[in-house]
Amino acid sequence: MDGQNWEHALIMVNNNLGKLDLKVVALGAAIVPIFAPGKLRSALQEAIDKGLSLEICSVSMAAAGLSEATPPKGALTKPGLIAISEARKDGFLYFVVA
């Protein structure tokens, strides 16, 4: 998915929060909208507050000039491929990668 699909991803997340242990790993150009004020950031913060695990690719942040940007409260930053690899080791089978 690309950054234009965040609305769809959030619908899937919100429909499954509390039912499944969810983790979203955001990487590439799709990370940019996460840092903009507005509905997406508010919706992501609400989902994190309800239990969503959000990990944002630090390599993508650097490439987008967002190394110093503050992610949503509760979100983690680490290289995306490491985040995905660690999640697989933790038993996650499906990911929303945006």
| pLDDT (tens digit per residue) in 53-97 | 999 999 999 999 999 999 999 999 999 999 989 988 998 876 655
- What is the pLDDT, as a whole number, of residue 95? 62
Q: If we measure between CA atoms, which residue out of 52, 10, 50 comes closest to residue 30?
A: 10
Cα torsion for 44, 77, 62, 64, to the nearest 10°? Answer: -10
AA identity, residue 44: L
Q: pTM surpassing 0.75?
A: yes
- What is the pLDDT, as a whole number, of residue 59? 96
Q: How far apart are CA 72 and CA 12, in angstroms?
A: 19
Q: Where are the alpha helices (DSSP H) in 1-98?
A: 6-16, 39-49, 58-63, 80-89
Q: What percent of the chain has pLDDT over 90?
A: 35
